[in-house]
Amino acid sequence: MENGRNIMTLDSDTNSSPKGGFVSPIDNCDSKMEDGSDELNGKKRKLVVHFDLRNTVLVSDSVTNVSMEQALNSFLTGVVWGRDLENGVWRWHSYTPSLTPPAEGTTTFYKYLERKLVKTPKDRTMLRIATGDFAHSDIGKGFLPYFNSHIDKMKWKHSEVPESGKLTMSGSDGKHYHYILPSVYKAIHQLHEDDRDFAIVFRTYGLDTANVISSVKFGLAGNHPGFPEDLQLPVNQLVGKVKRGDNQSIEFMTYMDDSTVKEFKNDRDIYNMLSKSQGISGYMDDFRYWQDNGYMHSTAKPLYIDPFDTRVQHIFFDDNFRKYENDSIVDIRLFDSAGCRNAKSVMRPEIEKFENLCVVQADLMTAIDDDDYF
């Protein structure tokens, strides 16, 4: 994937079917909707875009005490690859960052340091220190050009600087940096300009969702100098919660404006609720359950896919989605028959069939470089 612009393509005609017998939503469904309208003849399906936060729509969050420079350095360690030789010497495979393993037997420098340094939870402090200055260290200096170019792109270069914390973050150098990537705003404004029916759902294990939603609400109301149009989108600033339990039980708790809570426990009910969402909303996913189950993808952030639904397409952008590993962060849950109530977790290698169609390993560096990425 060169960039994200080839993702939202289900509205174009296609006569091919993916490998392995999986049938795409368009191939599998009659183009006539239940109300009789022709979905492929002018009217595009609604998009529900799920966004992870850190390393997907932002570099440095507003909760942890990590600077923009440290966060970008830490990200770089997760996309540079090499080998841990038998004599304990680290050898780089190349000096080109990559989201996926460039060769068999390679591992990221982050994973190498994690295995080397982290023996107890407290040791993660050492890991943060070791990764936070990566490109400026002797071992990481070959990647300094990548760090310099991307930190420069993140600098707030508008003459108008909104109230602190609204749209910008302060770096350790005291300068202002974008809090939310401009490419995120560009995507939302483009969907609005195209008169597309859409919703944005922020999904994270972290604590920054409320701040992200507040910032995006402020920016989309015409307060971002790079995107001055007021989109007047509905925003739910009350962050929902996702709870997972034994027997793969899943519950979405949605907090309403009047402080009431709506609970959705059945797969179909959760899917329908998310499909009907409007504007901007967010959920905190169940990190503890994922952690307690060895970070298995089948216990991670649930993404429901109904290949029989001609009205809605769900897309999930997350930098930690990895089709090639079991410890991925997205649990793709598929409805395998029309109208069924329960969805099943898709296992490897079936996961590959949904890559860049419904779930995308977000490329932070390209999303920083290219405002048209998403």
127 has a pLDDT exceeding 90: no
- Domains held by the chain: number: 2
Q: Are 242 and 155 within one domain? A: no
- Asked whether residue 305 is domain-assigned, the answer is yes
**Residue 24 pLDDT grade (very low, low, confident, very high; cuts 50, 70, 90):** very low
This prediction has a pTM of 0.85
| Residue 6 scores a pLDDT above 60 | no
Residue 17 has pLDDT above 60, yes or no: no
pLDDT score recorded for residue 116: 85
Asked if residues 57 and 51 have their Cβ atoms less than 8 Å apart, the reply is yes
155 and 215 in one domain? no
Confidence of residue 27 (pLDDT cuts 50, 70, 90): very low
Q: Mark whether 318 and 213 lie in a shared domain.
A: yes
Residues 181-227 pLDDT 10s? 999 999 999 999 999 999 999 999 989 999 999 999 999 999 999 99
Residue 374 domain-assigned?
no
- Residue 197 and residue 259 in one domain: yes
Together in a domain, 89 and 45: no
Q: Are 150 and 242 contained in the same domain?
A: no
Contact (Cβ atoms closer than 8 angstroms) between residue 54 and residue 63: no
Which amino acid makes up residue 54?
R
User: Is residue 140 assigned to a domain?
Assistant: yes
> Domain check: are 196 and 302 in the same one?
yes
**Three-state SS letters, 215-231:** HHHHHHECCECCECCEC
Residues 190 and 51 in one domain: yes
The whole-number pLDDT of residue 212 equals: 97
Q: For 244, list phi and psi in degrees, rounded to 5.
A: -115, 150
pLDDT in tens, 278-311: 999 999 999 999 989 988 999 999 999 999 999 9
Which three-class secondary structure state does DSSP give residue 138? coil
Name the more confident of 25 and 212: 212
Q: Does the bond joining 349 to the residue before it have cis omega, within 30 degrees of 0? A: yes
Q: In terms of domains, do 220 and 81 share one? A: no
% of the chain exceeding 90 in pLDDT: 69
**Are 75 and 102 members of one domain?**
yes
The contacts of residue 86 (CB under 8 Å, 6+ apart) are none
Q: Would you say residue 170 lies in a domain? A: no
Q: Are residues 290 and 153 in the same domain?
A: no
Domain end call among 162, 194, 228 = 162
Residue 285's domain comprises 4-58+180-369
Do 21 and 147 belong to one domain? no
Q: Is the pLDDT of residue 38 over 50?
A: no
For CA atoms 88, 93, 95, 98, the dihedral sign is negative
